[in-house]
Structure 1
Amino acid sequence: MKKKTLLLIMVTSIIFLTGCWDMVEINQRIFPYSIGVDINEGGDEGKYLVTISYPNVNAIGKNPSQEEQVYIISTTATSIFEGSRHLATRVQYPFYFKHLRVLVLGEELAKDEVLVRQVMDGLNRDFAINKKVQVAVAEGKAKDLIETKTERQEVIEGTIFSLLINDKASARFTSQTLTDFIKSTDANGVALVPKAISKKDEIKISGGALFKKYKFIGYIGELENRAISMVKEKVNRELVETEHNGVTLSYSITDLKSNKKLITTEEGMKIRISIETEGALQEYILEDRPTINNDEILNSMERAVEKQLKKELEKTIEVLQQKYNADALGIAEYLSKFHPRVWREVEKDWDTIFPDIDFEVSVDVKMRRRGLVR
C-alpha cells in the first residue's frame, strides 16, 4: 500500500514539473552593445538606417582565434526591432538586447520629433532592454560614429560606452540614460544629451545636444554644459582655469552645492541661483611672487575664480533663454516641486515666460588646500 501511494505521488508530481523548453545557450546568442539610428536617405525600404555593433567572442580571451574584435552591420527598416529581425537573417544567431549599452542618434534623425519619439517609445516599452542604456547624439551620422575603429577599442563594453560613463571626473558633458532622457523631457520639456564626435581613429564626447519636446534644437559647448551641471548639482570633480595677476590659475573643485530660490517682485519672477564650491589650488606660478600663505593673495584668487564661474553661468543662462528658449536648468521642475501654486499659474505659458525670467547668480569659492608647495 505504501509503495502504491509513493508511486502515485511521484507520478502526480511529474505533471507539475516544468522544463526549460525555450532555453537558449549563451553561446547561441548575439549581445549587441551599441545601436545607431539614422534617417534612411533613400527611404524606399524604411525610414530608418539601423546599425548594430556586437563583440566577436572568438577574439576574446588569452588565446583569441580571430583578430577582428567587433562586428558592425547595418540595414534599413521601419523600426529598430524590424531592423534587428532583418539583420538576424544575415548572422548565425539571434540578437539579445538585454545587455545593450548605447543608443546613438544621428543628427538629422534627432531633428525629427516624431522619429525620436518612436525610437524612445519602442525601446522604453520593450521588457528585455535595460532602461539604463546611455543615449548620445552623433555630430553627423550615427553609423559613421559606430564604425569608427579606435586604437583602444574595448571589446566587451565598447569605446563609446566607456567614454559616456566617464563623466564623473568631468562636467564637460552629462551622461544621459534612456530613463533620464524621458524623465527630463516630461519634467522640463528639455533634455541634455552628450554630443559624440568621430575623427579618424578617435571618438570624443564633448558638450551636449539640447532636445526640446523630443526634438534636437542645437548644441552647447563644454563650458556651457559645465555651468548647467553646476546649477543641477551634478559636478563631482572639475578643473576651473582663469587668469590672476597675469598668470594662469587652476582651481580643482572637490565639493559643490547649488541652491535655487524663487523671488516674486512687482516686475515679475526672479530666480536666485547660489553656488558654493570647495576645492584646492591646482597650479600657480610662485617665482618672484609672494607666498600663498598670505590671506590677501588667497582671497584674491578666490574672487578671480568666482568671477570666472559667474561669467560662465550668466553666459549659459543667456544662451538658454535667448537662443534656444530651453529650460535645461530645471527651473520648471523646481517650481513644480517647491512652489506648486506658482507653477500651476505659469505652466501653460512657460515657453513665453522662461525667456523673460530675471536670474540673479552668486558664487562663493573656498580654497581649502594649497598643495605641497606654498
Structure 2
Amino acid sequence: MLLLFIILLLGGCWSKRELNELAIVTAFGVDKSDEFVEISVQIVNPSQVASNKASSFQVPVFTYHAKGKSLFDAMRKLTTLTPRKPYYSHAQIIIIGEELAKEGMNSILDLLQRDPEGRSEFNIIIAHESTAQEILSILTPLEDIPASKLFKSLKDTEATWGTTESVILDDLVQSLGHIDNSAVLPTIQIHGDADAGKSSSNVEKIKSPAQLQYGGLAVFKNYKLIGFLTEEESRNYNFLHNNIKSTFETLACPEQGKISTEIIQSSTKVTGRIQHDIPSITIQLDIEQNVAEISCPLDLTKPETIDALNKATSKQIKESIERTIQTIQQTYQADILKFGEVLHREDYKAWNRIKKDWSTLYPELEVNLVVDVQTKGVGTATKLKLNKK
C-alpha cells in the first residue's frame, strides 16, 4: 500500500508545455535605449525551417523588440508582442550592445545566472559599431537561422585563425570574478548595408548587401567595456592564453616575395616569480608550423634554410606579441592574461604581501617572452624556381 501511495506522487507531466505553445528563441540581444533596456529576440519560424517545401514568401526567423526599466521588465513586456511565450533554453548566442557594455553588465549577468529557464552554455558576443538589434535583424545565406551562422562562424574562426574566443556565461563570470575583474569577449559587426540585410534580398543575391563578420576581442574591466583589441592583438592574446589551434604567419623573403606558413600546434607555459616583492612573468611559447606557400626561390632541402625560417618566424611572432603585451598592460591596465593568478599559485605568501599594490605593479610588470618555432612539414615541392623577368 505504501508503494502504491508513492506511485501516485510520481506524476511528472503536471507542468508540461508543448512545443506548439512556445516560441523557440535561438539568440537574443540587449541594448541601452535612453534610460531603458531593450531586448531583441530571434525566434524560429518552425513552418519555414522544418517543412521540406518551405514557402518563399516567409522568412526563417522573426525578431521582436521590447523596452523596460530592466532586462527582466523588458523580457516580460516582450510577451505582449509574441504570439507564444518566448523559450530561452535553446538560445545559442547572446549579443550585448556596445553602449550597454560600456555602461556595465552587472545586472544583466546577474539575471542570466538566476533565471531558472536559461542555460549557461550560450556564447556572449559584443556588437561593435552597431546595436544588438541590428545584428539580429540581418538574414544570412547558407544558414537559414542566423544564430546558427553566428555560432558556427565563431567556432570556425577560433579553430582556424585564432582571432576570436568563444566565451560562455560561466567562463565570463569566472573571469570577472578574478583579481582585477577583467575578461575578453568576441566582437561582431555589420559590413555593408544594414537596412538591405534585413530583407530576403540579402540571401537571394550572389553577393549579399550586408554580412556579419567577427573582429577582434573586447576588453572588460570591472564589468565594463574599456576598449578593443585589433585582430592581430586578439590572435596574440590567444597565443598567450594557450588558445591557438591553428593559424598562419606571413613572412618576407630574403630578397623579394612572401612565405606563408601554417601553424599547426602552439603550446604556452606561463610561470611567475616574486623576488624582494618585485613580480616577474616568464612565458615559453613552443610552435610547430608547416610551409604553406612560397613566392620566392628557396631550397627547403637545406637545413640552414629551415633554420633561418624558424628564426624569422620566431622573431616576427615575438615582436608582435610583445607589442600586444605592452598594449594590454599600459593602455588598458587589465590583467586579462591572469598574471596575478599565476603569481598567486607560484608563491601565495609573497603574493599576499603585494596583492594590495597589484594595480600599480601590473602596468610595469616585467614579462620575459621566449618563442621557439620548429618547421615540421615543407610539402613535396622542396625547390622553387621562379622565372625572372
TM over 0.5: yes
Question: Partner residue of 1:5?
Answer: none
Aligned counterparts, 1:110-189, within 5 A: 110-113=101-104, 116-139=105-128, 140-155=130-145, 157-166=147-156, 167-188=158-179, 189=181
**C-alpha distance in 2, partners of 1:54/1:234?**
32
User: Is 2:302 aligned against 1:294?
Assistant: yes
d(CA) in 2 for partners of 1:309 and 1:145? 33
**Alignment of 1:262 onto 2:269:** no
- What are the equivalent positions in structure 2 for 1:263-342 lying under 5 Å apart? 263-265=273-275, 268-286=278-296, 289-342=297-350
Identify the residue that residue 196 of structure 1 maps to in structure 2. 188
Task: Say which SS state the counterpart of residue 186 (structure 2) adopts.
Answer: strand
Computed over aligned residues only, the root mean square deviation of the Cα atoms, in angstroms, reads 2.1
1:269-289 Cα deviation digits (max 9, x unpaired): 221111011121111135xx3
- The answer on 1:85 being equivalent to 2:85 is no
With over 3 angstroms needed to count, the CA separation of the structure-2 counterparts of 1:228 and 1:10, relative to structure 1, is: closer
Aligned residue for 2:258, secondary structure, equals: strand
Q: Which one has a bigger Cα radius of gyration?
A: 1
Equivalent residue number for residue 27 of structure 1: 20
Report the Cα offset of residue 151 of structure 1.
2.6
Report the Cα offset of residue 156 of structure 1.
7.8
**Structure 2 counterpart SS, 1:32:** strand
Q: What amino acid does structure 1 have at the position aligned with 2:308?
A: S
Change in Cα spacing, 1:92 to 1:259, as seen in structure 2 (3 Å) is same
Which amino acid in structure 2 is aligned with residue 56 of structure 1? N
Structure 1 unaligned residues grouped into runs of 5+? 1-7
Identity over the aligned pairs, expressed in percent?
Answer: 23
Partners of 2:184 and 2:220 within 8 A in 1: yes
SS at match of 2:85: coil
Corresponding residue for residue 359 of structure 1 = 367
Deviation readout 1:49-80 (Å, 9 max, x if unpaired): 11111111011131124631110011101233
1:219 corresponds to: 228
On the 8 A contact 1:275/1:362 being kept in 2, the answer is: yes
Structure-2 separation of matches of 1:145 and 1:193 = 16
Which structure 2 residue ranges, 5 or more long, are not aligned?
194-209, 383-389
Query: For 2:224 and 2:244, how far apart are their aligned partners in 1?
Result: 26
TM-score (norm 2): 0.87
Q: Are 1:51 and 2:40 matched, yes or no?
A: yes
Please state how far the C-alpha of 1:128 moved relative to its aligned partner: 1.9
Equivalent residue for 1:95? Answer: 86
Alignment: residue pair count:
359
Does residue 1:62 correspond to 2:71, yes or no? Answer: no
Residue equivalent to 1:4: none
Indicate the residue corresponding to 1:205 in structure 2. Answer: 214
Query: What letter is aligned with 2:59?
Result: E
